[in-house]
Structure 1
Amino acid sequence: MEFEAIPGVGEKTAASLAELDDAERALRDGDVATLSRAPGITEGRAAAIARAAIRAEHGDDGDFLATDRARELYRDVLALLKERAVTDYAEKRLETLFPTASKSRIEEVRTFVEAALDRTPDPAVLDALGDVEALRAPPNLRVRERCLATVDAERYAEAKATFPELSVEIVEDAHDLAELARSYSTVVALDEAFAGVDVDGDVRVRPDAAEHPEEIVPERLLAFFAENRERLLAAIAVHEAATLDPACSPADLRDALERVDENGELVGDAELDRLTAAVDDLDAAVSTAESAANDHLRKAISEQDVTIQGQDFLSLVEQGARVDSLLSRELADEYDTAVETARGHLAETLSLEESEYDLAERVFGGDPTFPVDHNEEAVSRLRTELKAGRDRRAATLKADLAADLGALREPVETLVADALELDVELAVSRFSRDFDCVLPEFSGSGFEFEAGRSPLLDVSFDEVDPVDYGVSGVTLLSGVNSGGKTSTLDLVAVVVILGQMGLPVPAERARLERVSELHYYAKSQGTLDAGAFESTLRDFATLTTGASGRLVLVDELESITEPGASARIIAGILEALHEQGTTGVFVSHLADEIRETTDFDVAVDGIEAVGLVDGELRVNRSPVKGHLARSTPELIVEKLAGEARDDAERANGSGDEAASRRGFYARLLEKF
């Protein structure tokens, strides 16, 4: 796939996508999680790129939603869908769903939806999903105890790019390599020429280093798993709650995660812990051991029976008098005991092994002195030895753990992706269940649905009256004020938008024509001025020419100008759409006038009012086919006429006022 051929993708974004191993698959599947791992691409940007790629693949020009009102309704139903997602990923992934005229795209989404509808939104699963997030790369990692070495400048540049975590050094010969080995715990030589060279220190010759990065920098894998520990554990919990088949063994993954902490450091190895503690505590342990030796020797001196009193002897010693000969002659055994005390204390405090005890012995000893002092050079050598042991142990353990984690690296990607995709499926399932949806059938011309209910009304969905409606060709929809004409038009648009997204629609049954564009013109707020009126006519001139297969919904177009002119203009538009074979619904209070003006037998449907009950309008929300609905004023006049008739009958002809009112209302009714 040519990334720059995707609308909105430039050279920089294309280069970022190229760094992904499976960018083409991610673009086809709308895999926002994978796309957002490309450098500089956020989840929101990833969703936009995926949407553009899907449009390009299915030949969609993005013009299905042809008007502001159509786009507004799409945003509204998409928001309802996204509200049922738990994870941020699912919200962004749902943004890759859009209404389209592309049959292949609709069928692709419907295949996904059919599987999603089989999902049961278990509260335990939804709760577990709350902690799942897309995997992310760890922050910049730096490994300071290891370096790479090469004699070749080109190989140096490649190593810098491949191993940004490590220092890379240019060397000329084995001598330079030996110098590096004195500064680093491990040196990895990249040149075959160094094979067999005998150099002190941990020097490894790995010309194949670039092919096995997990062996050279195991910390990279450890950092990844440490950074994503909670996400991985959450994904396991989702699989277990939903009884999904995981891509890797949950027990193996949990075991591996227990061996690395949140900072990517190894945990759970007693020997590594011992060596780490010994390095950290060395200076304090030496100081404490030195104090213990001096305490012992101080006590021995103060109690010693010599020619001068012990206290005087101690005073002389502390004033710097030469006492080596005195100590050698009088306190040799006590000095030896004090040194052994210091050595024992040091070995015990640091939990030294027998092989390390020789270095510890050198820290204390030599000619008798008071106070007893440590050998700083010996301390330095012991520290170096302990650090080397620690680093070797850590390197071995990291390599072993990285080998285990390496086998899990790809499966955990699938593990988390499956959990996130489950959230997408559950969002669709929840939407369908919450709004009693069904997958529509695509056949024939026009549309029809049974028991449709709009999820966008400002009342509880359970309180929404079901609507049956269907139209083929152009139709006028009449009805009383506040009778539900606009909400019916909205319902038609919502059903069509969802259906052409490939999603289920809020109805018991629905049949749709796959249309090329949805044009929905909302009610104008007041009469338009001349310029706006002219612009509106230009829009309809464009609409009534060109491609057919559109669905046109118009709400009270007569409000754009004077009623008489409006009826003639609407009649002309209907005639053009009729000749084009377009399906359209025009809501209008001028249905009768328009019908008389058109040069074909235009269909008129009506949302019929049952009447006024206690001052409130009672309406049959399903439009009646071939019926011009009565207006609200007619219903009110009819109600008043009925009341006047009843008053006149009760007066038995004796009430002139009642009879007069009855006659007035009857005359008004005749005008309708």
Structure 2
Amino acid sequence: MDLESIPGVGEKTARALRALDEPERALRRGDVAAIATAPGISQGRAARIARGAIRLEHNDPGGFLATDRAREVYRDVLSLLKSRTVTDYAAQRLETIYPSPRRSRIEDVQAFARGALERESDEAVLTALEGVEPLEQPGDIRVRERCLATTDAERYSEARDVIPELSVEIVEDTQGLAELARGYSTVIALDESFAGVTIEGDVQVRPDALEAPAEVVPERPLAFFARNRDRLQAAIEVHRTAGLAADCDLEALEDGLSRLDEDGTVAGDDELDRLTTAVDDLDAAASTAESVANDHLREAIREEDVTIEGSDLLSLVERGAGVDSLLSRELADEYAAAVETAREHLTDALDLDQGEAEIARRAFSDEPTFPVERDEGVVSRLREELTAAKERRAGRLKRELAADLADQREGARKLVRAALELDVELAIARFGREFECTMPEFTAETGDEPIGFAIEGGRSPLLDEPLEAIDPVDYEVTGVALLSGVNSGGKTSTLDLVASVVVLAHMGLPVPAERVRLRRFDDVHYHAKTQGTLDAGAFESTVREFADLARGGEGSLVLVDELESITEPGASAKIIAGILEALSDNGATGVFVSHLAGEIREMADYDVTVDGIEAVGLVDGALEVNRSPVKDHLARSTPELIVEKLADEAREPATNGGDVPDREAGPDFYDRLLEKFD
């Protein structure tokens, strides 16, 4: 697939898409989550790019929704679907499902939708889905306690490219390597010439390090799992709750995630925790140990009676001796006890092992001094030893965990993708159940007789009413028909039903009806009711639009609501009659709602089909209507029904006991008016 041939994709965007692992696969599948991981591409833009790629794949020219009202219907039904999603991903993914005239595209989505309709939504699954989000790539990783070393300039450049997470240093010889070992917890020598050398510190000779970067920098794979830990755990819960088959070992993945902290460090290892705590608490523990020793020594001095002979005092003064000599001579045992107390406190507070304790003991000298002071050099050495031990331990644990998770990465991606796609499927399933939908039948593919559309038991999803309060509608049209009916009888709702059914069917999705058969249309032209008479310019534009349809409208569905309002009634009837003639000659399918159906039929030069939404009467001042249009029937208007009601009332017996009806006007007046409707 030529990425730059996708609508809306230029050179810069194509370059970003090529950074994906499998860009063509993601684009063909409409995988919004994968596309959105490309640099600089948001989830909303990813949906638009996916839609463009799908159109390119199916040679879809676009423009199926040819008018503003047709596009409004699409956005309305799409909104109903999106409102039933849990994740932002699913809502964006549904944006890639659009109405298309292409058989291949419709069948692709139909296959997906049929599988979706078999899904059973469960509150536990929907709750689990709340924590699922598309996986993210971790940011730049820098590891500062480890470095690579080489004597070769070319090797140096290669190492910087392959393992950018580590510093790369050039050394001339073993001495340079030893100097690096004093500044880093671990040094990885890339040259085989260093094999067998003995250097103090953690120096590893790994000539093959650049071939296995994840072993050298386990932080790289671990960062991915750490960044997405919560998302993966939520996806695991979705799979378990929904009973989905997984492409990875859920228990092994869950175990690996439980051993990983959000910052990418290994969790749950007691020895690593001990070393980490010791490094963090070293300064505080050393200060406390120092205070413990001095408190002990002060108390000993207060309680000790020290007697110094004059000759001894003179000798001490002549030698320039100070309190240290006095402590050594008179309080040696007490000083030794104070220092031992400090050493024990430092060892116990940091939970040091035997080797570490030996270093810690040297932090307090045996030579008497007051106040007792720690040796900062020894404390620093202890810190280096603890830090190095911690990093070695952490490095080993990271390598082990990274090895355990290494084979899980692709499975983890599929795990999250499946959970997100489940949300899309459940949204379609919930929509299908809540609106009692069925999959439509396209007549061109079944070999049935030519038909525009045939809807049985349809309920418009665009009505702001509970489903049970909506009367089911049956309506079938082949060719172009006029739809007549009383005001508020449901003519516009019928057009909305037809439009929504056709749009959903061409999206490849289930439709809100008991059964639907229809042809594949090239486009949908839905003209909403015009508010008031159009000015000359707008009128001209409207007539031009229908002229274009008349020339190339074969395969179009044309829905028009009271076009007569664009100009004077007499002229409107003539114009609509001419439009119907042209569309009928061209093989289009259309429904024109009009109160001038009788006049239009008389003016047309062919037998125009007139269907009617019939009001069966007035009940307590409200219309009682049969919502399904009656074929080949000109429906009576609301004024006619009212006059008929008045005539019937005028014929009723008088309420005053006489033979003359108690009415101001007799039935003859109303009958005369009724004759005008014939």
Pairwise TM-score range, normalised by the shorter structure: over 0.9
Number of residues paired by the alignment? 665
Provide the rounded CA distance (Å) in 2 between the counterparts of 1:656 and 1:457.
Answer: 43
User: What is the rounded CA distance, in whole Å, between the counterparts of 2:576 and 2:543 in structure 1?
Assistant: 10
Q: After superposition, what is the alpha-carbon deviation per residue over 1:587-645, rounded to whole angstroms, capped at 9, x for unaligned?
A: 11111111111111111111111011111111100000111111111111111111222
Asked if structure 2 preserves the Cα contact closer than 8 Å seen for 1:637 and 1:668, the reply is yes
What TM-score, normalized by structure 1, do the two folds share?
Answer: 0.94
String of CA shifts for 1:400-422, please: whole Å, max 9, x gaps.
Answer: 11111222222111111111111
Deviations 1:253-291 (A, max 9, x none): 222222122222222111111211222222222222233
Aligned match of 1:113: 113
Instruction: Tell me the equivalent position of 2:256.
Output: 256
Could you say if the C-alpha distance between residues 157 and 539 of structure 1 is closer, same or farther in structure 2, counting changes exceeding 3 Å?
Answer: farther
Q: Distance in 2 between matches of 1:27 and 1:345?
A: 64
| TM-score, length-scaled by structure 2 | 0.93
Q: Which amino acid aligns with 1:179?
A: E
Q: Assess if the C-alpha contact under 8 Å between 1:235 and 1:416 holds in 2.
A: yes
Q: Which residue of 2 aligns with 1:447?
A: 453
Match of 2:144, SS? coil
Superposition deviation, residue 208 in structure 1: 4.2
Match of 1:587 among 589, 593, 610: 593
Q: Quick one: distance in 2 between partners of 1:613 and 1:484?
A: 17
For residues 378-418 of structure 1, the C-alpha deviation after alignment (integer angstroms, 9 at most, x for no partner) is: 22212111111111111111111111122222211111111
Contact 1:253 1:408 survives alignment (8 Å): yes
1:662 aligns with 2:667: yes
In 1, Cα distance between the equivalents of 2:648 and 2:656?
Answer: 12
What secondary structure, in the 3-state scheme, does the structure 2 residue paired with 1:626 have? Answer: coil
In 2, Cα distance between the equivalents of 1:641 and 1:402? 90
Distance 2:333 2:283 in 1: 27
Contact 2:650 2:661 in 1 (8 A): no
Using the alignment, how far apart are the partners of 2:132 and 2:663 within structure 1? 77
Q: In the alignment, what sits opposite 2:276?
A: 276
Matched, 1:33 2:33: yes
Q: Which residues of structure 1 form unaligned runs of 5+?
A: none
CA change 1:321–1:4 in 2 (3 A) is same
> In structure 1, what is the Cα distance between the partners aligned to 2:654 and 2:346?
119
**Aligned residue identity for 2:494:** T
Amino acid at match of 1:382: L
Q: How many angstroms apart in 1 are the aligned matches of 2:508 and 2:196? A: 66
Q: Please give the alpha-carbon distance, in whole angstroms, between the structure 2 residues aligned to 1:284 and 1:249.
A: 45
1:627 maps onto 2:627 in alignment: no
Q: For residue 54 of structure 1, what is the aligned residue in structure 2?
A: 54
The aligned residue for residue 138 of structure 2 is: 138
Cα deviation 1:303-327 (Å, max 9, x = unaligned): 4455339xx99xx99xx95244444
1:399 alignment partner in structure 2: 399
CA gap of 1:199–1:5, structure 2 versus 1, over 3 A, is farther
- 8 Å Cα contact 1:148-1:187 kept in structure 2: yes
Q: Provide the C-alpha distance between the structure 2 equivalents of 1:331 and 1:218, rounded to a whole number of angstroms.
A: 55
For 1:657 and 1:337, the matched residues in 2 are separated by 125
The residue that corresponds to 1:639 in the other structure is 645
Asked if the contact 2:339–2:366 (Cα under 8 Å) also holds between the matched residues in 1, the reply is no
Q: Deviations over 1:112-163 (max 9, x none)?
A: 1111111011121112112211122234433221223445556555544544
Which residue identity lines up with residue 464 of structure 1 in the other structure?
A: I
Shift of 1:447: 0.5
- Per the TM alignment, residue 570 of structure 1 is displaced from its structure 2 partner at its CA by 1.0
- Alpha-carbon distance in 1 for matches of 2:269, 2:661: 108
Distance 1:229 1:533 in 2: 61
Worse-superposed segment, 479-488 or 190-199: 190-199
Which residue matches 1:86? 86
Task: Tell me, in whole angstroms, the C-alpha distance in 1 between the residues paired with 2:531 and 2:235.
Answer: 51
Q: Aligned AA for 1:395?
A: G
Residue 197 of structure 1: how far off its partner (Å): 5.2
Q: Take 1:155 and 1:480, find their aligned partners in 2: how far apart are those partners?
A: 86
Match of 1:572 among 578, 585, 589: 578
Q: Give the alignment's Cα RMSD to 1 decimal.
A: 2.4
| Distance in 2 between residues matched to 1:326 and 1:618, nearest whole Å | 117
Task: Determine if contact 1:648/1:662 at 8 Å carries over to the other structure.
Answer: no
Q: How does 1:97-496 map to 2 (within 5 A)?
A: 97-151=97-151, 156-191=156-191, 194-196=194-196, 198-304=198-304, 306-308=306-308, 322-443=322-443, 444-496=450-502
Change in 2 beyond 3 A, CA 1:527/1:151: farther
Aligned ranges 1:6-21 → 2 under 5 Å: 6-21=6-21
Q: Per-residue CA shift, 1:153-183, capped at 9, x if unaligned?
A: 5655554454443333444554443333222
Q: Which moved more, 1:569-578 or 1:189-198?
A: 189-198
Helix, strand or coil: the match of 2:484? strand
